[in-house]
RNA sequence: GCGCUCGUAGCUCAACGGAUAGAGCAUUUGACUACGGAUCAAAAGGUUAGGGGUUCGAAUCCCUUCGAGCGCGCCA
């Protein structure tokens, strides 16, 4: 019995108690999904439910009384070995070995689809993240969303959603001109303008631009600066793409802000807003009345001099995304942009949408990097910036992605580079990957011994006897595997993939403990036994679950390390 | 000044309103002639920043004080 089946069964228990009048309760007051969780304290059983606590008030009972009424129904179930009331009114449930062990077969059979669902089938998400200026390398500040944004998209897809990863290129405006002027100055051996870009990458770019097109230096101004700007833009954007590919984050759409203007999307967006009646003129400028929807001030779309603001692009871009058919637009912003949350939601409202349904703005806090006990400062305009590529070079893609994903994004994060490079349990990615590689090794060895085939899909389920998996650690490991789909679901709903990473760490611990206490393969000349085979099934199910989880994080699951 | 986010073990961090607030690191102590020791077992470490409130139950929700980061442009 899976926890999902148990949850559904509990629902029917409540209904049964209502139908015979033991519980006086409106059916609508029964929670739609009854929570079934692993108790923190494993002595409490395999699963626990708080359903009695949840319905007691509506039923006019205290929680323990409600639990007393439900208990006989719970006990009278195939596969449930025991159940008892504990604490304020929890019902703790212990499954029979056979019932619990069925899950192992389910996982091996489900293979790559274990933990997936179609709960979001037919729903379409636009995930916009990073969206850096193409005026420099991606740095540490971008890296958190590069990892987490991609993981959220993977998790949405695992639940059947259509999720597009979109990078908005801020290729319009004065910062591009400063970028062009900076590379031109570097190429001509002139001092870089005070308000330009001073990173060490500028002279490198300048050299490459001139190498590609030696005549560029002979152009007249202002054509020369423009030519530098465009050449630098092209090179820098290509570099950002290259590094993100390296990082295993692949964008489906690279959307240029310029193209938004060239395609007429801005006009379309303005027409939409005008139609909704939230645009007005004041002081020669055109405004959007975002204060109608919780913004703290109205925003200018067109300046008095006729120039469009950045905000104008933002609004048009939102309208354009919705016109492209996305049900939900998710924005992943850095903490320095948290002031945008209300205005973006107001944009959606001004466009006639319901912000709670069509737009989600997630804010990620800063990442700090420590090395040798000191903070490594990063500044886009200074020479010593830590780039995403530096991070990859330093610790590798897997460790970098995993370390950025395993923490919720709403707290500032401090990473210690010295620890990240260590291949110890201090670095949880290796702990999880090691468990995977270790299992792969056991199954390889089993195949070498002729105990079983290396292809788990060809194993005969009839050889698996769950009642043999009687050790506590085996039961705990199975419970952790059973809980995995629920964890993925919560990661999807809350947009918090770190939950998966944390659960994989628990599974890895569960496996190492099992491995330490329960010998899998026969020793010496001993023959393989039914227990050997049953434990190999458990190994295979564990390997599959870890593999699936790591895939959702974009981290590799090595067979060997 | 206003707003947003945050404050949990020495450090880095968990905990969807649930049971005795948990991991890792660091510290101390154990376990290999066995399938990968990149492992396992154990000890110690807490007034969840302070104070009120809400309820069967609060680190979590509300109010307040203190502290930290960030943001408040007809810039992009």
∠ CA A231-A235-A239, nearest 5°, is 165
B35 C1' closest Cα residue: A521
The single-letter DSSP state of residue A337 is G
B14 C1' closest Cα residue: A502
CA distance A333 to A343: 13
Q: For A509 and B22, how far is CA from C1' in angstroms?
A: 14
The closest nt to A493, taking CA to C1', is B16
The closest nt to A438, taking CA to C1', is B36
- Name residues of chain A where pLDDT drops below 50: 379-382
B7 C1' closest Cα residue: A411
The closest nt to A523, taking CA to C1', is B34
Backbone dihedral region of A306: left (phi > 0), alpha (psi from -120 to 50 degrees) or beta? left
Q: For A208 and B47, how far is CA from C1' in angstroms?
A: 62
Structure confidence at residue A381 (pLDDT) = 41
Q: For A231 and B23, how far is CA from C1' in angstroms?
A: 50
Asked whether A497 and A148 are in contact (CB, 8 A), the reply is yes
Q: Considering only CA atoms, give the Rg of chain A.
A: 29
Q: For A365 and B69, how far is CA from C1' in angstroms?
A: 9
Asked whether A349 and A293 are in contact (CB, 8 A), the reply is yes
Structure confidence at residue A382 (pLDDT) = 46
Q: For A412 and B47, how far is CA from C1' in angstroms?
A: 25
Structure confidence at residue A426 (pLDDT) = 64
B70 C1' closest Cα residue: A336
Q: For A332 and B14, how far is CA from C1' in angstroms?
A: 23
The closest nt to A90, taking CA to C1', is B19
Crossing angle, helix A3-19 and helix A63-75, to 10 degrees?
110
A211-232 b/e (C-beta count within 10 Å ≥ 16 → b)? eeeeebeeeeeeebbebbbebb
Pairing, β A374-376 against β A367-371: antiparallel
Asked whether A131 and A313 are in contact (CB, 8 A), the reply is no
Structure confidence at residue A130 (pLDDT) = 94
Q: For A304 and B73, how far is CA from C1' in angstroms?
A: 14
Asked whether A442 and A520 are in contact (CB, 8 A), the reply is yes
- Can you read off the two tokens belonging to residue A460? 């005969």
Q: For A141 and B47, how far is CA from C1' in angstroms?
A: 37
B19 C1' closest Cα residue: A87
User: Phi then psi for A101, rounded to 5 degrees?
Assistant: -75, -20
The closest nt to A419, taking CA to C1', is B25
Which of A465, A482, A476 is closest to A515 using CA atoms?
A: A476
The closest nt to A339, taking CA to C1', is B71
Structure confidence at residue A63 (pLDDT) = 87
CA distance A183 to A391: 25
Structure confidence at residue A162 (pLDDT) = 98
Structure confidence at residue A448 (pLDDT) = 93
The structural domains of chain A, with segments of one domain joined by +, span 3-95, 425-553
pLDDT digit string, tens, across residues A156-215: 999 999 999 999 999 998 899 999 999 999 999 999 998 898 888 999 999 999 999 999
CA distance A173 to A181: 13
Place of tokens 């599974």: A507
B68 C1' closest Cα residue: A412
B6 C1' closest Cα residue: A411
Asked whether A85 and A67 are in contact (CB, 8 A), the reply is yes
* Highest CATH level, class, for A425-553: mainly alpha
Structure confidence at residue A524 (pLDDT) = 82
Structure confidence at residue A505 (pLDDT) = 95
* Highest CATH level, class, for A3-95: alpha beta
The closest nt to A518, taking CA to C1', is B35
CA distance A281 to A289: 10
Protein-proximal nucleotides of chain B (any atom < 7 Å from a CB): 2-7, 12-16, 18-20, 22-26, 34-41, 55-57, 69-76
């Amino acid at each position: 019995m899976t926890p999902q089946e148990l949850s559904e069964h509990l629902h029917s228990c409540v209904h049964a108690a209502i139908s015979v009048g033991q519980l006086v309760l409106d059916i609508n007051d029964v929670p739609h999904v009854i929570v079934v969780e692993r108790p923190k304290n494993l002595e409490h059983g395999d699963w626990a439910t708080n359903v009695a606590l949840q319905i007691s008030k509506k039923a006019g009972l205290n929680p323990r009384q409600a639990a007393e009424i439900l208990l006989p129904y719970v006990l009278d179930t195939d596969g449930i070995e025991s159940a008892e009331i504990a604490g304020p009114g929890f019902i703790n449930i212990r499954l029979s070995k056979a019932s619990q062990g069925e899950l192992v077969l389910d996982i091996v059979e489900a293979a790559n689809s274990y933990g997936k669902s179609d709960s979001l089938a037919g729903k379409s998400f636009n995930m916009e993240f990073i969206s850096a200026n193409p005026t420099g390398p991606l740095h540490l500040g971008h890296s958190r969303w590069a990892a987490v944004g991609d993981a959220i998209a993977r998790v949405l897809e695992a639940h059947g959603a259509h999720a597009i990863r979109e990078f908005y290129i801020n290729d319009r405006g004065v910062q591009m001109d400063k970028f062009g002027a900076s590379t031109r100055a570097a190429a001509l051996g002139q001092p870089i303008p005070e308000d330009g870009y001073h990173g060490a990458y500028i002279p490198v770019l300048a050299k490459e631009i001139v190498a590609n097109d030696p005549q560029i230096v002979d152009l007249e101004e202002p054509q020369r600066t423009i030519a530098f700007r465009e050449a630098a833009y092209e090179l820098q954007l290509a570099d950002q793409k290259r590094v993100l590919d390296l990082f295993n984050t692949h964008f489906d759409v690279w959307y240029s802000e310029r193209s938004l203007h060239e395609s007429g999307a801005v006009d379309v967006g303005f027409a939409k807003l005008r139609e909704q009646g939230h645009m007005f003129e004041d002081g020669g400028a055109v405004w959007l009345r975002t204060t109608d929807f919780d913004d703290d001030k109205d925003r200018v779309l067109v300046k008095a001099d006729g120039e469009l603001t950045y905000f104008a692009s933002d609004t048009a871009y939102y309208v354009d995304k919705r016109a492209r058919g996305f049900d939900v637009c998710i924005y992943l912003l850095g903490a320095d942009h948290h002031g945008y949350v209300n205005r973006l939601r107001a944009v959606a409202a001004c466009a006639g949408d319901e912000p709670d349904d069509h737009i989600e703005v997630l804010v990620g806090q800063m990442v700090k990097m420590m090395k040798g006990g000191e903070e490594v400062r990063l500044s886009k305009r200074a020479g010593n910036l830590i780039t995403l590529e530096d991070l990859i070079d330093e610790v590798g893609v897997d460790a970098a992605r995993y370390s950025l994903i395993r923490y919720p994004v709403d707290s500032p994060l401090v990473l210690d580079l010295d620890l990240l490079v260590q291949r110890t349990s201090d670095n949880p990615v290796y702990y999880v990957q090691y468990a995977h590689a270790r299992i792969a090794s056991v199954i390889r060895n089993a195949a070498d011994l002729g105990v079983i085939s290396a292809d788990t899909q060809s194993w005969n389920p009839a050889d698996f006897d769950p009642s043999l998996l009687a050790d506590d650690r085996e039961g705990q490991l199975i419970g952790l595997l059973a809980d995995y789909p629920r964890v993925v679901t919560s990661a999807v709903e809350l947009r918090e993939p770190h939950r998966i990473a944390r659960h994989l760490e628990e599974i890895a611990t569960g496996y190492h403990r099992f491995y330490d206490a329960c010998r899998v393969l026969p020793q010496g000349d001993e023959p393989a036994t039914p227990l050997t085979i049953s434990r190999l099934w458990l190994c295979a199910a564990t390997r599959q679950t870890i593999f699936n989880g790591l895939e959702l994080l974009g981290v590799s699951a090595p067979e060997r390390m």
